[in-house]
Each structure stands twice: as structure tokens, then as C-alpha cells.
Chains A and B, each alone.
Chain A
Amino acid sequence: MLLKRYIPVAIVAFFGALTLSAWFIDNETIETFANDDATQFFDIIAAFAVFLGALNLLKLQFIKVLKQQSEWQYSAIAIASFFFAFIIGFFIRGAFFVGEDVYFSQQAAEEAVVAMNSSDTVRPVDWGAHVQTDGSLFQWMFKYIFSPLSATMFALLAFFVASASFRAFRARNLEASLLLIAGIIIMLGRVPVGSLISSWLIMYIIAFSVGFGVNAYTRNRNMALGWVLGSFGLITGLGFTMGWPIDQPAIFYLPALQEWIYLVPNLAGSRAILIGIGLGIVATSLRYIFGLEKSYLGE
């Protein structure tokens, strides 16, 4: 009980309070602890914990291969990739310089020297530097296997954004319809063609949409037609009288409208969420520091 409960809670309380106090106390020791030492302690623990993670990963993948569970072939690839990265990271330099040229093996580098009849000597890259040297085997793996695979996953986002937007933008209710309209305005307002659409056209579209609404609500076609024609006439008349250019009145000009949506209602909403998140983090942290919440220990 003492080891599993009280000591961990005391450690959290002490270091939490110390880190918090570093914000308010002008003391170099406390500040260094909070900004450097504490994060280094964490990094050291994390570095050791990686071994546990790697062992767990290997164990599960080996079990899958040995028991030939469904799609065990992927596990075999995972194991092979793990050992490939491990070996070229720890046991193979993978970079031998001849002048500016880099070769994966010493033999290849020596053959190149002979083939070029060069006076250059073969210089192996330093251990440690080999994982970051351009042209090394490790960097080759990173550049031609790892990065493309990561980029592939990232690129999937484009398609997922499209499918998610398709679902979100279905005008099922008032909120979804507002989202759809705001989305269209933001998208059109942010592309060059958006600045070519005049405020007049937007006003006509709004007047037409309201006409639809009037018709749906009153079931009176004449009234709706009257509204549409009247408002079209009003917009055209006002436009010519006041000499509105393409971007006037600004409230109906898409680039200006999208900026307003983005900077006013959107920002207000996101700041409200941000304040909630901030308060949540403060309250949660204080619950841990004061030992009110102990469920992270499994209690």
C-alpha cells in the first residue's frame, strides 16, 4: 500500500507543486529543475521503457507468426523490418566516403576507388553520425522506405477529409445546413475564383433562396415570385444608383465574408472551447497535485 499508493501520490504532489512554483518563484535552481532536469528525468525513463515496448512488440508478432494467426505474414514483415532497422542502426556503419561519394559497404567503396583509379582513400563515417549522414544505409532506409510509407498514410487524409466532409455537409437539419453554407462560403472565398464572384450575384442568390423559403412556408407561389422579383429589382436598382463595384457591399463579397466567418464566429467558438480546455487541464492537474484523483494509479 505504501509503495503502490502513498509514495507515488507524494511524488506527484511534490514534483507537481515544485514545477508549478517554478512559474512564480524567481529562483534559478527551481527554474532549471522545471525546465531542464525534470524533462531529462522523463526522457531517461522513456528511453528505458522503449526496451519494454520493443520486447512486447516482438513477443506479440512472434506469437502471431508461430501460431500462424490470421494475416501473420504482416507480422513476419514487422519482425524482419525491426531487425533490419536494428542491425543497420547498431552494427553497420553503412556509409563509406570516397571523396564526396558515399557507398553502403567498404568493399563497394574500395572497388569504386579502383574503378575510378582515384587517389582518394576510403573514409568510414563515425559511429553515431552514420544514422544522420546523407547517403548512409540508415538514411537510405529512412528516405526510401520509412518516409514514403508515412507520406502514404498522411496522404490518405485527403480522401478521408473528403468522405467525412461529404457526410457532415448533408443538409439534414438547421445546424448541418448552416455548416454547409459556411463551408461553401469559406471554400469559395479562399480560392481565386471567389474574388471574381460579385456581391450582386450573392445577393441575388440570397434573395432567390429566401423566395424558396417564402414559398415553402406560405405555399403561395405568387407571393414568392413577388418577393424574388421585388428583391431582384431592389438589388439591381440600388446597385446602379449607388454604383456598387464587384466587392460592394463588402458583407456580400465572398473573400470578405469568409474572413469575417473565420475571424469572428469561428474564433469566438474556438476560443470558448480553448478556455474550457485550459480550465479542464488546470483543474485536472490540481486534482493530481492534491491527491484527489488517484485513478491513474489504478485506484
Chain B
Amino acid sequence: MNNKYQVYAVGIVGILLFTLALSALPESLNFFREEKSAMFAFTLTVIMIMLYEVRLAKSSSEDIFLRTIPGLKAVEEAVGRSTEMGRPILYVPGIMDMNEVETVAGVVVLGHVANMTAQYETELDVPVARAIVMQSARQVAKEAYMTQGRPEMYNEDMVHYVTDDQFAYAAAVNGIMQRDEPAACLYMGKFFAESLLFAETGNSIGAIQIAGTGSQTQIPFFVTACDYTLMGEEFFAASAYLSKEPELIAGITAQDIIKVLLIGFIMLAIVSRAFFDLGLTDFNLITLLNL
């Protein structure tokens, strides 16, 4: 067995024992919510795997394999297309605030896009729906232009506030699309019903469109109307993928290991449930773990 997996096996056993020990503490000392033991053990397992993978990535000189994500490869293509056509790039970081992980992920991807637009000297337009997002996006874009040695190209108003209201924002962004006819439209963040309004308008102006979201209900709309869509976890992996930093890519490796563990757990839960329903056992894993 590979050494790495031995570490994980020992670690998981340790976490389970630690969780059991916490649950067994006397009532006067016990601040631990017993009913969330399974979730606690899972969280610790995720943390352990992630930190260990990062440590391995730091100490290793080997490249970590990442499968090609067409949507992310297309980002550079979209920037190149805009440059050739001499038209701007429209970047929409969703309609929610910075307390949503998806918005943060969207702003992070904006940094990478801004790096490219600075390199290619392409105009970037970022209308935002929240003032805090405006400030964060400005900071990220400014740093990107500085990093690329093009501070003179950075203009604070490339990231501008429009409105907090969902449909007013949709109307404003659609207006920008119709007037400026950007060559590429990127939608990265949290979206609701306005997703299709954006994507269809972008389609009508012939822009190359790339969307990334964790909003499950909006994924079908983006898949239908956009050229490329980053679905769920692909979107959260975008930053690591674009940065190519081993520490961040290690996080994705950890995610995959956890996914394999989860698949194993789901299979186990199905078997346990089947045994329970057939009367072969008097317990079922899901109820036992309080999930």
C-alpha cells in the first residue's frame, strides 16, 4: 500500500477515536455537539487530507496531473479573440455579495482574467451588483495589472457598480452588451433567474461565452446558451487550474480523494440500508450516524 494512503488510513482511525473520545466526555466538560459527530469527523478528515496533500505538493518537484477543463482553456482563447476584434471583455461576477463562496471564487477568477487582459492590452468591463464586490474586484484587478507591469492600463472604473436589484442589474448588463458588443462574456459567480437573460443576450450579439457557477438550478441555462460552462466543482477549481500553483492544485487532488471516499461511503450506506430492509441487520448506517 502506498505510504500516503497508510497515513490517511491511520489519520481517519485517529479522527474517529478522537470524535468518540469527545462524545464520551462527562456532561460538565462537554461542549461538543454529539449529534454532529459524523459531520465533525468528516470535516477533520477533509482538513487532514487537504493539508497533507499540500505538504506533499510543496515537497515534491513532480507536476500534479490535472485533466483539461475546456472552459478554462477557452478563457485565454476568449481574451485573444477580444484582442483580435478590438472589442472589450465583459466579466459578470454574479449578483450576490462577498459572503457567498461563489462570488469570492468569481472575484478570484477575475484576477486571472485581468492578468490576461493586461498582457493582451484588452479592455475589461466588470459591472457589479454589490458595492463590497466592487471594492474587492477593483483590488484584485489592480493587483493583476500591477503584476503584469501595466499599471497605466488599470482604470478604477473598469469595475463599476450598477445596482443591487436583480432585474435592474440584468437590464443594465444587457444594455452594456447591446451597446458595447463585447467579443467575450464571462459569467463567474452566483446567479439566479437573470442567468438566461445574460446568456441569451450574449448569444444574440455573437460573443464567445464562458460561464462558471455553483448555482445548480442555473447550470442547465448556461449549458444551453453558453459556449463553455464550468459546472460546480470545476468552477471552484478554476483558480487553482489557472494559477498552476502546486499548493492550490493539491487542494483539488484532496477533493478527488474525498470524492472517492464519499463514493465508498455511499456504497456502504446502500448495502447497509439493503441489509436493514431485508431484516438481516437491525441497524442502518445513515440513522446510526445521525445523518
Contact = CB atoms under 8 A, between A and B. Distances in A.
A98 B106 CA distance: 52
A53 B127 CA distance: 11
Most buried by A among B104, B134, B200, B225: B200
A299 B199 CA distance: 30
A278 to B, nearest CB: 9
A54 B128 CA distance: 12
A296 B135 contact: no
Given A149-B168, A285-B101, A296-B108, A23 B157 contact: no
B16 to A, nearest CB: 15
Given A24-B33, A150-B168, A157-B193, A279 B258 contact: yes
A35 B219 CA distance: 29
B33 A25 contact: yes
Contacts of B9: none
A126 interface: no
A168 B223 CA distance: 9
Contact of B142 (A53, A57, A71, A298): A298
Given A277-B233, A279-B233, A298-B143, A293 B175 contact: no
B116 interface: no
Given A164-B196, A270-B216, A295-B140, A60 B33 contact: no
B115 to A, nearest CB: 10
A59 B144 CA distance: 24
A212 interface: no
B224 A157 contact: no
Nearest to A46: B132
Interface string B135-154: 11001101110000000000
B94 interface: no
Given A279-B255, A293-B248, A153 B167 contact: yes
B252 to A, nearest CB: 8
A296 B140 contact: yes
Interface in B90-135: 97, 99, 101-102, 104-105, 107-108, 111-112, 130-132, 134-135
Interface in A259-299: 270, 273-277, 279-288, 290, 292-293, 295-299
Contacts of A282: 43, 46
Given A24-B40, A276-B233, A287 B248 contact: yes
A57 B262 CA distance: 47
A39 B98 CA distance: 12
A292 B236 contact: no
A157 B179 contact: no
Interface residues of B, number: 77
Interface residues of A, number: 60
Given A52-B131, A74-B175, A20 B43 contact: yes
A42 interface: yes
Contacts of B136: 296
A66 interface: no
Given A49-B132, A293-B108, A296-B108, A283 B32 contact: no
A149 B108 contact: no
Nearest to A274: B216
Nearest to B156: A56
A218 interface: no
Interface in A104-157: 149-150, 153-154, 156-157
B132 A154 contact: no
Given A56-B160, A164-B196, A284-B101, A24 B224 contact: no
A281 B131 contact: no
B243 interface: yes
B286 interface: no
Contacts of B259: 275-276, 279
A73 to B, nearest CB: 12
A160 B196 contact: yes
A158 to B, nearest CB: 10
Contacts of B262: 275, 279
Given A273-B231, A276-B259, A297-B139, 18 more contacts: A25-B31, A46-B97, A53-B131, A53-B134, A57-B160, A153-B167, A164-B200, A164-B221, A165-B224, A277-B233, A283-B252, A283-B255, A283-B258, A284-B101, A290-B50, A293-B108, A295-B108, A297-B140
4 closest A-B pairs by beta carbon, nearest first, are A298-B143, A280-B236, A53-B131, A53-B161
7 contacts: A20-B43, A25-B32, A53-B134, A70-B179, A74-B175, A160-B200, A290-B50
Interface of B: 30-33, 36, 39-40, 43, 46-47, 50-51, 54, 97, 99, 101-102, 104-105, 107-108, 111-112, 130-132, 134-136, 139-140, 142-144, 157, 160-168, 170-171, 175, 179, 193-194, 196-197, 199-200, 214, 216, 219, 221, 224-225, 231-233, 235-237, 239, 243, 247-248, 251-252, 254-255, 258-259, 262
